[in-house]
Amino acid sequence: MSFWEKMERLDRRVIYVLLIAAVAFALIKPVGLAITISKETQATYDLFDGLPPGSIVWIGCEYGASNITELQPILTCVLRQGLAKDLRFITGGMWAQAGNLAESAWEDVSADFPDKQYGIDFVNVGYRPGGERLLPALVADAHEALMGRDNRGTSLDDLPLMQEFKSLTDAAAILVLVSGTPGEKEYIRLVTDQHGIPIVAGAVSVSVPEAMPLLNSGQLKGLVMGMAGAAEYEVLIGKPGSAVAGMDAQSFAHVLIILFIVLGNLGHIALGKHKKKA
Amino acid sequence: MFVQGSALQNWIIAIFTLALFSVAFKENPLYRFVEHLYVGMAAAYGICLTWFNYGYPVLFQRIPGGKAHYIIPVIIGLMMYTRYFKPIAWLSRFTMSFLLGVGAGFVLSTTFRSLVLLQVTATFLPLWSSQSFAQTINNLIIVCGVAGTLIYFFFTAKRKGVIGVGAQFGKWVMMVAFGTAFGNTVMARVSLFLGRMQFLLGDWLKIIN
């Protein structure tokens, strides 16, 4: 049996073990590969950096717990950047776990900003059902669409920040963190294209190709692309976190996968399987 | 990290994570148990959230509070359940019709401008850019790529001459796009795995910070 025939019969579990080993090694012994800032991440950072203090930013948490590795660092980075600049945030979303994820991010960030208070600088209105139909309802009357209370059950009338937020159009900018539908397209169709609110997105890697045409057309002002984008954002705000820590492992895993793709193709050619059958 | 639970929570999360990963090596009862538990919990979580975020406030706060018009969507929604009662099952068709009509109208009225018109406009680019040579190349790729892809799906003419070259180019552009999408999918999956590994090695085993 030739080398290529052995490789062809390689148990897939060997690949899994090698992948686990590569990722574990890079996490335990990081080599500190360079992280360069893409213009898409920089544009997102610049948008929030350019907002006047006191501006209200709506953050749509349109993802689930399975996407926290890629999207949660983006959420905490933007909160840190914005709170340092005295921006105010309202988080919510059309995905069921929106409320819990935003609450978790606020817990992570608020300890570093003891002067910032819930209800004044940050409100989490949480999940509301109805899918994309929630967005025009938020534009028409945010308090009515949110059933008059936030994620913690507090009346919106008791939250000072919500007195200045009667409609989604009161937001100076929108950040939408997306991992599927409803996501950035719904915000663009139903809110930002109609009302001229600048919108940026943070997307899981698998959603990036779909978001790129929206960036190219200017409908999205910036895009933070997956874990790599999150790592760039952590570098931009000067607070390296889980995304930066994971980039070495990400790169190691990619090199391993590329290696197997190359080996697979070489074996395909070597065994003559690329020739068309008569 | 997102998960900052007690030691017991971390152990439960770790065991369930490893149980789910175990299917990659061999199908086993532990994986099946955890999978079914996950599906059940996710369904219950969704039902509770919808009830406490919408059902309860509408039925016990909004309608008694004087907003009687909320009764209309409640009735339309309840009509869907008439399909379980054969003599009045036909009533559920009204709900379906309502959903289809509103859904189609809602999507169509906002999609054309944002996802068709503005996207088409974004491809009207100068084929020579004075800004930089790279911008010229980018513009050429976008314009020719869109044209080629559209030609590929032009089935009412024989694929020869200009149409043939355009369709072939369109096919290559699509192949590159599919490759990009696949690459991003791999990256996303690796990120998911990475997140779990960070939890297992960090929060659980405390090997990494």
The verdict on A7 and A114 lying in the same domain is no
pLDDT for A44 equals 98
| pTM for this prediction | 0.91
Tokens 């070489």 identify what position? A266
B120 part of contact set with chain A, CB < 8 Å: no
pLDDT for A38 equals 97
* Mean pLDDT confidence for A207-225: 96
Of B46, B119, B201, Cβ closest to residue A24 = B201
The verdict on A79 and A14 lying in the same domain is no
Q: Are A94 and A60 in contact (CB under 8 A)?
A: yes
Euclidean distance between CA atoms A16 and A18, whole angstroms: 5
The verdict on A102 and A23 lying in the same domain is no
pLDDT band (50, 70, 90) for residue A206 = very high
Euclidean distance between CA atoms B148 and B166, whole angstroms: 5
Of A188, A205, A249, Cβ closest to residue B187 = A205
Residue A89 has pLDDT above 70, yes or no: yes
Contact A250 B194 (CB under 8 A): yes
Contact B57 A101 (CB under 8 A): no
The verdict on A75 and A121 lying in the same domain is yes
Q: Which of A69, A134, A255, A261 to mutate to test the interface with B (most CBs of B within 10 A)?
A: A69
Residue A121 resides in a domain: yes
- The Cα of A53 is separated from the nearest Cα of chain B by a number of Å equal to 28
Contact A209 B184 (CB under 8 A): yes
pLDDT for A170 equals 98
**What pLDDT, in 10s, does the model give residues B9-23?**
999 999 999 999 999
Residue B33 resides in a domain: no
- The Cα of B86 is separated from the nearest Cα of chain A by a number of Å equal to 28
> What is the ipTM for the molecules in this complex?
0.87
Contact A205 B184 (CB under 8 A): yes
Pairing between β-strand A222-225 and β-strand A199-203 as defined by DSSP bridges: parallel
For the stretch A255-261, contacts whose Cβ atoms lie closer than 8 Å and that sit 24 or more positions apart, written own/partner, are A255/A22, A256/A18, A256/A19, A256/A22, A257/A19, A257/B186, A257/B190, A260/A15
Domain residue limits at A219: 39-239
Q: Are A239 and A111 in contact (CB under 8 A)?
A: no
Phi first, then psi, for residue A219 (nearest 5°) are -70, -30
The verdict on A158 and A70 lying in the same domain is yes
Residues of A160-189 as b/e, b for ≥16 C-beta within 10 angstroms? ebbeebeebbbbbbbbbbbbeebbbbbbbb
Q: How many CB atoms lie within 10 A of CB B172?
A: 14
* Mean pLDDT confidence for B137-159: 93
Q: Are A227 and A244 in contact (CB under 8 A)?
A: no
Q: Which helix (H) or strand (E) holds B95?
A: helix B92-111
Residue A34 resides in a domain: no
Which are the contacts of B31, defined by CB distance < 8 A and separation ≥ 6? B19, B20, B22, B23
Residue A274 has pLDDT above 80, yes or no: no
- Report helix, strand or coil for A64: coil
The verdict on A44 and A61 lying in the same domain is yes
Residue A162 has pLDDT above 50, yes or no: yes
Tokens (6 digits) for A110: 């608020």
The verdict on A262 and A223 lying in the same domain is no
Residue B165 resides in a domain: yes
Contact B113 A13 (CB under 8 A): no
Residue B152 has pLDDT above 90, yes or no: yes
Residue B155 resides in a domain: yes
- The Cα of B119 is separated from the nearest Cα of chain A by a number of Å equal to 6
Domain count, chain B: 1
Residue B118 resides in a domain: no
B43 part of contact set with chain A, CB < 8 Å: no
* Mean pLDDT confidence for B128-148: 91
pLDDT for B131 equals 80
Residue B2 has pLDDT above 60, yes or no: no
Contact A19 B193 (CB under 8 A): yes
Which residue in A has a C-alpha nearest to residue B207's C-alpha? A28
The verdict on A233 and A257 lying in the same domain is no
Tokens (6 digits) for B193: 């795995």
Residue B1 has pLDDT above 50, yes or no: no
Tokens (6 digits) for B208: 């990494």
Euclidean distance between CA atoms B116 and A117, whole angstroms: 43
pLDDT band (50, 70, 90) for residue B4 = low
The verdict on A172 and A224 lying in the same domain is yes
Mean pLDDT (chain B, rounded): 92
Domain count, chain A: 2
Tokens 């209309």 identify what position? B72
Residue B192 resides in a domain: yes
Tokens (6 digits) for A206: 């698998």
* Mean pLDDT confidence for A7-19: 90
Contact A127 B53 (CB under 8 A): yes
pLDDT for B53 equals 84
